[in-house]
Amino acid sequence: MEAASLGAWDALPMTTTTPTLTRRSRAAIYAAIFLAFIDNFALLPVIGPRAQELGGTPLLVGIAIAAYSLANLAFNPIGGILADRIGRRRVVVAALIISPVAIAIYALADSLPLFLLARVVHGASGGVLAAALFALLGDAAPIGERGRTLGRAGALIGIAAVFGPASAALVSNLFDVNAVFLGVAAFIAIGLAGVLPLLPETLVVTPATRPTVGAWRRILSEPRVRVALLAIFGLEAAVGTVTGFIKDGLIQRALEEGRTQEAALRYAAGASGGLFTIFGVIAIALMLSRISTRVDKRGPFGISLIGLTALVGALTLLAISPTFTIDLVAMVLYGIGYGLIFPAAAGAIAIASAPEERGRANGAFNFSFDLGISTGPILGGLVATVAIGVTPFAGGLALVLLSLALLPLAARGATRGTARG
């Protein structure tokens, strides 16, 4: 179903060449990925409190939180198009410069409309940035090592997801919410000073390299790309659901066991921290292992199938879990699913897309990523509200099951071989 045989793109001479990159250039790409993702992870816990400080109602606070993701979602394809049209580096540099400016405005804004505008600009720059960065990394990845190369990027994102909120909580407790915004803005700005001079351009744009009419159709007609998009959607639907609701579930269980509200909150904070640490260690270990190279040899279908099945098990256990031990098993499965799917899906995009269309392919990848992470908690909250007694994890579980069921259909069709460059 996922033939890895060489095809048309291998047989024809490529219209682009990827320059040989130094170790420092590759390190700069990874550093840029960390900078690109640390901001949202660190800021998410303090966006709501800052919006409240500026007079936001519960509805406006919700809009402020969602504005980043909505803008991110809309600008993922635009970022991919720009990365193919004008090159990766220009897009990455512009977006990385905009990011700390928008974050500083979060702290300096004296009105909610200005704060919301900064959220939209920040989200738009993040959407553009993600598509261009992953295209750049896909260009730089050696043939046969693309799964592992993208797996390393996934591990960095995982580290940012652990380091960001913890650092933000520490700074917020020692100082205030605005110190978090200014600190993150300064951290990114300082990081940029070291990264930008070393960041390479991996796509030399000429009239011959510009994608012709039908680029989106060619990208979406490739089975490996469709599998990657479906797998990352299912994965991120699970991510949004677990991160959005696991702490509430722990609090509810603690209250049912007779703990006071304050004791339940303390328990949930400690327990969720431990559970996410277990998840992170497993996911990062898998993404850094040789397992991530399987996509280069066999394609993304099999490993995505296993990963989505692990996520089904994780969400099922979380939906019915009566004990912390069951939660722990669920998070182990969750880590396995994440660690298998992310490098397989991201690697498949790099493998199955031509260099001159790789920006667009990564725009579609990040669109599916953001769509999943937004849809999971929304459906989970809706299900829990409408159906009394049903946990929010059921919503995420339904989306993962849907992705799993559609995966064989997405994999149908002949692949066009591994794209060089």
pLDDT value, residue 210: 63
Tens of pLDDT, residue by residue over 67-115, are: 888 899 999 999 999 999 888 999 999 999 999 999 999 999 999 999 9
Confidence bin at 8 (pLDDT 50/70/90): very low
Asked whether this chain's domains 24-203 and 219-410 adopt the same fold, the reply is yes
* Res. 387: pLDDT tops 90: no
CATH no. of 24-203:
1.20.1250.20
* Res. 252: pLDDT tops 90: no
For residue 277, the tally of other CB atoms under 10 A from its CB is 12
How is domain 219-410 classified at the CATH fold level? Growth Hormone; Chain: A; (1.20.1250)
Range name among 41-55, 102-116, 298-312 with the lowest pLDDT average? 41-55
Tens of pLDDT, residue by residue over 160-184, are: 888 888 788 788 888 888 999 999 9
pLDDT value, residue 181: 93
Range name among 60-74, 307-321, 342-356 with the lowest pLDDT average? 60-74
Of residues 248 and 5, more confidently modeled: 248
pLDDT value, residue 66: 81
* Res. 13: pLDDT tops 60: no
Confidence bin at 421 (pLDDT 50/70/90): low
pTM of the entire structure? 0.86
pLDDT value, residue 416: 60
Confidence bin at 237 (pLDDT 50/70/90): very high
Backbone angles phi, psi at 403, to 5 degrees: -60, -40
pLDDT value, residue 101: 95
* Res. 219: pLDDT tops 80: yes
Q: What mean pLDDT value characterizes the chain?
A: 87
Q: Is residue 405 exposed (0-12), middle (13-18) or buried (19+ Cβ within 10 Å)? A: exposed
* Res. 420: pLDDT tops 60: no
Q: What is the percent of the chain where pLDDT is above 90?
A: 52
* Res. 131: pLDDT tops 70: yes
Domain range annotation of the chain: 24-203, 219-410
pLDDT value, residue 16: 46
Nearest C-alpha neighbor of 145 from the set 25, 293, 290, 17 = 293
Residues 365-394 have a mean pLDDT of 88
Contact 303/295 with Cβ under 8 angstroms?
Answer: yes
* Res. 234: pLDDT tops 60: yes
Confidence bin at 266 (pLDDT 50/70/90): confident
